[in-house]
Amino acid sequence: MNHFGVEPTVSAEHILHGLNPEQRKAATTTDGPVMIIAGPGSGKTRVLTTRMAYMIGTGEADPAGILALTFTNKAAREMKERVAGLVQNERMEPRWLGTFHSVMARVLRSHADKLGYTRSYSIYDTSDSERLIRDLMVSRRMDPKKMKPRSVQRLISEAKNKMLKPSEVTKEGKTGTATAAAELYLPYEQALKKANAFDFDDLLLKPIILFQRFPDILARYQDQWTHVHIDEYQDTNHVQYRLARTIASRRRNICVVGDDAQSIYAFRGADIGNILSFKSDYPDAVVVRLEQNYRSTKAILRLASVSIANNRKQLKKQLWTDNSEGPKVQNIWALTEQDEADHVRRIIREMRIRKGYSFDDFAVLYRTNAQSRALEAAMVRNDVPYQIIGGVSFYQKREVKDALAYLRVLVNPSDDVSLRRIINLPTRGIGKKTINDLTTFAGRHQISLWEVIADFQRIGLGVRAVRAVGAFKDLIDSCSALQEPPQVVARRIFKDSLLLQHLRKDDTVEGQNRLENVEELLNAVAEYGLGVGSAGSLAGFLQEVALFTDADASDGGNGKVTLMTIHASKGSEYPVVFITGLEEDLFPVLSADESAESMEEERRLFYVGVTRAKAQLFLLHASSRMRFGMQETRQYSRFLEEVEHEVEAIVYRPTATVRSARSFARQGRNVAQPQRGSTGLSIKIEPGSRVQHRDFGSGTVLSVTGSGDRRRAEVYFDHVGPKTLMLRLAPLRVADL
């Protein structure tokens, strides 16, 4: 019996069984700061979970005393299951194991009133924030076409993540968007507060403010959480760093795990410096390096090491493995993205037959979500079961967000963003003009839209508008008054608002799908409603789903091939991995050219993708790919070039087109990099210049017309005569002198 009154069911030795000496050290050094530098496939999840189980099992930590923070729900779930498996006693499961956002949302929930929010607050995701910003811009007569609300949102989010206050963001000497962001930051914060809403960044920021303002609350949590764990520490941003430091400052039992080579979230503020400087933050930190890889073959690991060696900024690690050499990594050359998808599909089929793999042994990775389309089509055509992780998640689908907006308005009527979303959906006679009148009134009196509606008679609307607004008010009022389980309330508002009827009217396949999605949402509400107290309330449901992402729905062993971005693949492993679209301007993305740092981040991303593979890795690229609805000639990725000695290049169906495309790509590299808008390609092309075409040979430019993407050249070819070519697309380069 340990001093928490729980009988351990397994011995410490049993829990630690099978760990190598380094892993064991990492798992049992439970006093003071620890940093675990862990390469891919080194068993870091295992170490972290063993560590928790060990502390709980030996009675060193209370199950509620362990704080373990991850970045994805998937990682949290996996860890929870593993600890449970090790301690074999559900009373001893760690209670504060979750993502940064979900754990902090839990903290916030208990103290929201202290910050002046009511318990029925809304949580705004990025698209909600964007809508709010768009509304602010419109009311300030800024043109949302010139300054994208999305870019403004991103800049404000960036400022919040750097913990800059509105007063600290200056407007001078900035680009238009930055000026707009600086100008809108304060109004945005005020609007959030007025809407009784937190945005994603607030979920981490507000707890810090809470802790600053109420030291007794902080002390309570510091007291409770005796041991702090942070997974993927290289991905922490400034706010997360501050949170961790604040919480751990009292006991200093902080254990971070990370791999600087796998830092791929700089774009959302992740600061690789956090892991690089851990030792200066905690000079007495014990550092453990886990360099043995248990996952991949030698061939795969070698390719990963060769690739990442091109990065300058990194902690040196010497990865090694006892695993077998394995088959050579294959580099497959496809003609188009359809051809690429077809190779993937064909290899999956062959490997299933010849080597006995099952569908869930395969992962197909890509850089951008847009690439999933062709792959998906190939899977559908050939009856290959597949799942796509990420992309548009269920709770981000338009119809689901619309339906959720109804529920949010019921729970939190101050939620202007949600209210505007549904006020005229389906159309009920509250048009642009009326909405404008209501908004203006709300703005003038500094009240929420709902307060205006609640008192609509006094605004002086037209007869028709009065009737329409009155009906809407009655609808919301009657449903909020219901004292029924959440699913009953939800079904009632969807029905009375005519939302369901509206969806039913559309009998196209997509329309039916939308209806089904709303039905599915109702099921989710019903399921959640089975909980007790606030855990089963509508407000609780809404706050929970706000943090749900599609990636969380993934699970292995379901007999499906997995398609996802490389970002989404972090933390998983598959026997066979395909990385597709290895082309300049796609992977690495073009904008990565702008700085060495972002190029290094792209390379780390490639590294992450490569190291997902256990047994066999395929790298693919296409000579031609449809982008922006146009067929584009592609050059293969520099990442392929860097590992060219580690791959076996395979050209299936080798055709003249493929080969000349290849040699063209090689020669053309320094001459005419295709660029968006093609200015780079076209400056050197003017009447009189000599050019070389992939298929037509050499020629002389007669004239150049059009601009931007429509820029064309009339060329007289030595052997085939005159041709007009789109400069954006043509495999054309300036001839060598």
Partner DNA sequence: GGGTGGCATCTTTTT
Partner DNA sequence: GATGCCACCC
Residues at the interface with DNA (CB under 7 A): 71-73, 99-102, 125-126, 144-145, 148, 150, 200, 264-265, 267-268, 367-370, 390, 398, 424, 427-434, 462, 464-465, 547, 549, 551, 565, 567-568, 589, 591-592, 598, 605, 627-629
Nearer to DNA, 398 or 445 (CB): 398
Q: Which of 183, 231, 235, 342 is catalytic?
A: 231
Straight-line distance from the first to the last Cα atom of the chain, in angstroms, rounded to the nearest whole number: 85
Active-site residue, 262 included: yes
**Cis check: omega of the bond before 588, within 30 degrees of 0:** yes
Cβ at position 310, least distance to DNA in Å = 18
With H, G, I as helix, E, B as strand and everything else as coil, classify residue 327: coil
DSSP-assigned letter for residue 140: T
What single-letter amino acid sits at 458?
R
Nearer to DNA, 127 or 314 (CB): 127
Q: Which of 99, 226, 262, 487 is catalytic?
A: 262
Q: Which of 128, 232, 271, 583 is catalytic?
A: 232
Active-site residue, 235 included: no
Q: Where are the beta strands (DSSP E) in 20-169?
A: 34-38, 66-70, 96-99, 122-124
Distance CA 185, CA 495 (A): 38
Q: Which of 29, 30, 45, 673 is catalytic?
A: 45
Distance CA 261, CA 33 (A): 22
Q: Do 347 and 307 touch, CB atoms closer than 8 A?
A: no
Q: Do 102 and 112 touch, CB atoms closer than 8 A?
A: no
Distance CA 303, CA 297 (A): 10
Residues with Cβ < 8 Å from 595, sequence gap 6 or more?
none
Nearer to DNA, 143 or 172 (CB): 143
**Cα 501 from chain centroid (whole Å):** 34
Distance CA 384, CA 372 (A): 14
Cβ at position 482, least distance to DNA in Å = 26
Residue 182: how many CB atoms within 10 A of its CB? 21
Cβ at position 583, least distance to DNA in Å = 12
Helix axes 100-111 and 238-248, enclosed angle (nearest 10): 60
Distance CA 578, CA 426 (A): 44
Cβ at position 553, least distance to DNA in Å = 11
Cβ at position 463, least distance to DNA in Å = 11
**Cis check: omega of the bond before 486, within 30 degrees of 0:** no
Cβ at position 490, least distance to DNA in Å = 23
Distance CA 640, CA 703 (A): 37
Nearer to DNA, 368 or 724 (CB): 368
Residues with Cβ < 8 Å from 463, sequence gap 6 or more?
none
Distance CA 323, CA 325 (A): 7
Nearer to DNA, 60 or 399 (CB): 399
Nearer to DNA, 483 or 508 (CB): 508
Nearer to DNA, 434 or 624 (CB): 434
Nearer to DNA, 408 or 570 (CB): 570
φ, ψ dihedrals at 622, nearest 5°: -120, 150
Nearer to DNA, 369 or 689 (CB): 369
Q: Which of 612, 614, 638, 733 is catalytic?
A: 612
Q: Do 643 and 303 touch, CB atoms closer than 8 A?
A: yes
Q: Do 329 and 620 touch, CB atoms closer than 8 A?
A: no
Among the listed residues 549, 492, 548, 546, the one whose alpha carbon sits nearest the alpha carbon of residue 522: 492
Nearer to DNA, 23 or 562 (CB): 562
Helix axes 44-57 and 21-28, enclosed angle (nearest 10): 50
Side-chain half-sphere of 736: how many Cα atoms within 13 Å? 3
Distance CA 68, CA 64 (A): 10
- Which residue's entry shows tokens 């509250």? 430
Cβ at position 477, least distance to DNA in Å = 20
Give the DSSP letter string of 361-424: GEEEEESSGGGHHHHHHHHHHTT--EEE-SSS-GGGSHHHHHHHHHHHHHH-TT-HHHHHHHTT
Q: Which of 44, 367, 397, 421 is catalytic?
A: 44
Active-site residue, 45 included: yes
Q: What are the beta bridge partners of residue 147? A: none
Cβ at position 379, least distance to DNA in Å = 16
Dihedral over Cα of 133, 136, 138, 142: its sign: negative
**Measured CA angle at 695 (ends 692, 697), to 5 deg:** 35
Nearer to DNA, 501 or 591 (CB): 591
Distance CA 376, CA 359 (A): 14
**Measured CA angle at 703 (ends 701, 709), to 5 deg:** 100
Q: Do 582 and 566 touch, CB atoms closer than 8 A?
A: no
Among the listed residues 161, 213, 165, the one whose alpha carbon sits nearest the alpha carbon of residue 188: 165
Active-site residue, 612 included: yes
Cβ at position 69, least distance to DNA in Å = 10
Cβ at position 510, least distance to DNA in Å = 8
Nearer to DNA, 134 or 694 (CB): 134
Cβ at position 460, least distance to DNA in Å = 13
Q: Do 715 and 700 touch, CB atoms closer than 8 A?
A: yes
Give the H/E segment covering residue 631. Answer: strand 630-633
Nearer to DNA, 290 or 586 (CB): 586
Residues noted as catalytic: 44-45, 231-232, 262, 612
